[in-house]
Amino acid sequence: METSTERNIAAFTHLSTFSQYIVPFGNYIFPIILWTSKKEQSEFVNHNGKQALNFQLSVLIYSLILAMIAIPIFLYTVLKNISFNELINNDDIILKNFDYGNSIGILTVGVIALFIFACMKIGEFFLVIYASIKASNGEEYSYPLTISFLK
């Protein structure tokens, strides 16, 4: 049976990932601090700390993959319509024949990648809250679709 202190530390480990919206890389720094402070004394805190960090690392990997899909597509679509010869001579960016019609298929892939990213961030928000509630109730929780970096 976990003590209330262990349950609170485990819950705060999950909730500390929200610090990413205030402190850069806070979603890694604060869970690591909370996890390493008590991982030797409590198997419950150790499990929840690993789960929180594995989930945040998995979200990072998934975000990088989606960015590698979406960013080049949008850059290609915009840059192919810029006339660089006139840009050098005129010092203004001139978009001639800016037409999405020729790139609608590839733009659709980019928009789908952005949509998946938005759904992932919304899902991350609710899953972190759910995991912290489970931890505060003394239940072990494992995030879905998480790569096990820390075992």
Give the pLDDT of the chain (151 residues) as one tens digit per residue. Answer: 689 999 999 999 999 999 999 999 999 999 999 999 989 999 999 999 999 999 999 999 999 999 999 998 888 877 776 665 555 555 555 555 555 666 777 888 888 999 999 999 999 999 999 999 999 999 999 999 999 988 8
Question: What's the number of domains the chain is made of?
Answer: 1
Ordered DSSP codes for 79-99:
HTTB-HHHHHHHSS--B-S--
pLDDT value of residue 40: 92
Per-residue model confidence (pLDDT) at position 125: 96
Residue 108 lies in domain: 4-136
- Residue 144 belongs to a domain: no
Classify residue 146: in a domain, yes or no: no
Q: Quick one: pLDDT at residue 83?
A: 60
